[in-house]
Amino acid sequence: MRIGIVGCGGRMGRMVLQTLLATEGVRVSGGAERPGHSAIGTDLGSLVGAAPIGVALSGDAEALFAGSDAVIDFTTPELTAANAQLAARLGVALVCGTTGLAAGQREALAAAAAVVPVVYAANMSVGVNLLIGLTRQVAATLAADYDIEIVEMHHRHKTDAPSGTALALGVAAADGRRVSLDDVAVRSRDGRIGARPEGAIGFATLRGGDVVGEHTVIFAGEGERIELTHKASSRAVFAQGAVRAAQWTAGRAAGFYGMTDVLGLR
């Protein structure tokens, strides 16, 4: 199976590349970055400190898609929307882990999913997807007088907040309670804000250092508190999930899938 990577020069892109190079049964079809990126022309093996593979980092995303069976996308919301259009036009499966997507960018993924398999997840680790499932289950079990708070921490370079994973956890909690997250989310607090509304799902965002990703869902009741936590110590878990998802798309019908589908958690 030929798998390519857009955003190959970034932290996650390089980790995905390392994982692909170590995975049997796949071939790295190429890697692409924005035109003008300083690493364009570098052999992809050399880019991650491995032996050269005879394929250089390119600035041509369309050529990458044309030569791939599946493409993994860890870029920016704007580029993800453009890549979704490329995937649909060229008939290539797309695996996307880009976070911070606006409604229109999600719609671009959904439109591509009408033509090709699209796997989208804010977090591709097995552990986080189990956490999402547990959050939904606990929220459905506990009464609304258990307050739900979602706390996340990431490295200082992360540009979106709350994280995509935190929002996915919020959606799972809201689904468990059969409400819309948009109706109950509290994403910031400052000053004299009054008492906490019953049924609210709160978010707290922390940024600093080199933290890969930590998420805790707190269910706080009278006299007890339940906390569900996932801590990632390496980006390798996300890269492994992305490669697994790309392999999973082989022979798959067009559709909009998540990691719960890939992992068989539904």
Q: Is 98 annotated as a binding residue?
A: yes
Give the tens place of pLDDT for each residue, 200-221: 999 999 999 999 999 999 999 9
Q: Is 129 annotated as a binding residue?
A: no
Query: Are 162 and 77 within one domain?
Result: no
Q: Is 9 annotated as a binding residue?
A: yes
| 235 confidence band (pLDDT: 50, 70, 90) | confident
Edge-to-edge strands, sheet with 2-6: 57-58, 27-32, 2-6, 70-73, 93-96, 117-120, 255-257
Q: What is the CATH number of the domain that holds 6?
A: 3.40.50.720
How many structural domains comprise the chain?
2
Q: Choose the catalytic residue: 37, 158, 215, 230.
A: 158
Looking at residue 207, its pLDDT comes to 97
Give the tens place of pLDDT for each residue, 133-165: 999 999 999 999 999 999 999 999 998 899 989
DSSP code at position 45:
H
Q: Where are the alpha helices (DSSP H) in the chain?
A: 11-21, 44-47, 61-66, 77-90, 103-113, 126-141, 164-177, 181-184, 236-248, 259-262
Query: Are 12 and 110 within one domain?
Result: yes
Looking at residue 266, its pLDDT comes to 63
Query: Are 228 and 243 within one domain?
Result: no
Looking at residue 264, its pLDDT comes to 83
Give the tens place of pLDDT for each residue, 83-124: 999 999 999 999 999 988 899 999 999 999 999 999 999 888
Instruction: Identify whether 157 is a catalytic site residue.
Output: no
Q: Is 10 annotated as a binding residue?
A: yes
Query: Are 82 and 158 within one domain?
Result: no
pTM, 2 dp: 0.78
Q: Is 155 annotated as a binding residue?
A: yes
Instruction: Identify whether 215 is a catalytic site residue.
Output: no
Q: Is 121 annotated as a binding residue?
A: yes
Residue in 90, 74, 226, 248 with CA at minimum distance from that of residue 164: 74
Q: 251, exposed or middle or buried, with CB in 10 Å at 0-12, 13-18, 19+?
A: exposed
Query: Are 92 and 178 within one domain?
Result: no
Give the 3-state DSSP-derived string for 134-200, with helices as H, strands as E and coil as C. HHHHHHHHCCCCCEEEEEEEECCCCCCCCCHHHHHHHHHHHHHHCCCHHHHEECCCCCCCCCCCCCC
Q: Which two tokens stand for residue 225?
A: 């508190």
Q: Is 76 annotated as a binding residue?
A: no
Q: Choose the catalytic residue: 37, 154, 157, 215.
A: 154
Give the tens place of pLDDT for each residue, 48-67: 999 999 999 999 999 999 99
Q: Is 223 annotated as a binding residue?
A: no
Looking at residue 156, its pLDDT comes to 95
Looking at residue 172, its pLDDT comes to 95
Query: Are 30 and 74 within one domain?
Result: yes
Tell me the average pLDDT across 240-253. Answer: 95
Q: What is the CATH number of the domain that holds 212?
A: 3.30.360.10
Query: Are 184 and 164 within one domain?
Result: yes
Query: Are 56 and 100 within one domain?
Result: yes
pLDDT value at 182 more than 70: yes
Query: Are 247 and 116 within one domain?
Result: yes
Looking at residue 138, its pLDDT comes to 97
Query: Are 68 and 168 within one domain?
Result: no
Count of CB atoms situated within 10 Å of the CB of 45: 18
For residue 187, give its domain range: 126-232
For residues 184 and 170, the answer to whether their CB atoms sit within 8 Å is: no
Q: Is 7 annotated as a binding residue?
A: yes
Looking at residue 99, its pLDDT comes to 83
Query: Are 208 and 181 within one domain?
Result: yes
Query: Are 72 and 152 within one domain?
Result: no
Give the tens place of pLDDT for each residue, 14-32: 999 999 999 999 999 999 9
